[in-house]
Copies of this chain bind each other. A is one copy, B any other.
Amino acid sequence: MNSEPPARRGGRQRDPAADSAIIEAVLDMVAAGATLSGLSLVAIAKQAGVSRNSVYRRWKTKDELYLDVLETINKPRPAPDGAGTREDLAAVLRVLAERVVDDRAGSMLRALNAEAVTFPQLHRRYFEEIVASRREAMNRVLRHGVERGEIRSDVDLDLLANLLVSPLLARMASGDTDRLDPEEAGRQIIDLVLDGAAATPR
């Protein structure tokens, strides 16, 4: 999980409970408003109830620690392949919305986003991995929709994907996620985007 300990030849084993206690501490503190750069390994140790030593022993830098924290909140989901495009899109957005509603995960991602400049490789690595995989899932659904004839073939799929995803991302970024129903939110977005708001076709 963490920066793997050197080939062990003996000695006392690391307490696995400490690992998760520390990661939980990070999530809690970030959810409570802490900044990634503002967090110190010392404060984390105190919150986790372990000695400073035990934190420094596991992670040399905050980057490594945060990477493990991010991996903890990132559990991959199977790609949807339902009957219709609207259902597939709803499935994709539901996964996203659930993550957005999860306070600790959302706070973590928001914090990472806010300090992308300070943690460039962490940000790059995480977003290239996670965001790309999500984006790919979305694009697959959309392309399938075009093939099925349910999506107009002349629309910019990237823009369309952006349009579908952005409302949720914006809410996560603003932290306004209290009254968000993961099921309903996506459905409304999909309907409006697909059907259009114009009263009369152009």
Contact = CB atoms under 8 A, between A and B. Distances in A.
Interface of A: 32-33, 35, 37-38, 110-111, 113-118, 127, 149-153, 155-156, 159-160, 162-163, 165-167, 169-170, 173-175, 188-189, 192-202
In the assembly, how many copies of this chain are there?
Answer: 4
Nearest to A123: B175
Contacts of A152: 197-199
Contact of A156 (B170, B188, B194): B188
A174 B113 CA distance: 6
B194 A196 contact: yes
14 contacts: A33-B116, A38-B38, A110-B114, A114-B115, A151-B199, A152-B197, A155-B197, A160-B197, A163-B193, A166-B170, A169-B174, A173-B173, A192-B193, A193-B197
Nearest to A116: B175
A196 B166 CA distance: 16
> Quick one: which of A156, A192, A201 has the most chain B CB within 10 A?
A192
Interface centre among A115, A116, A165, A197 (most CB of B within 10 A): A197
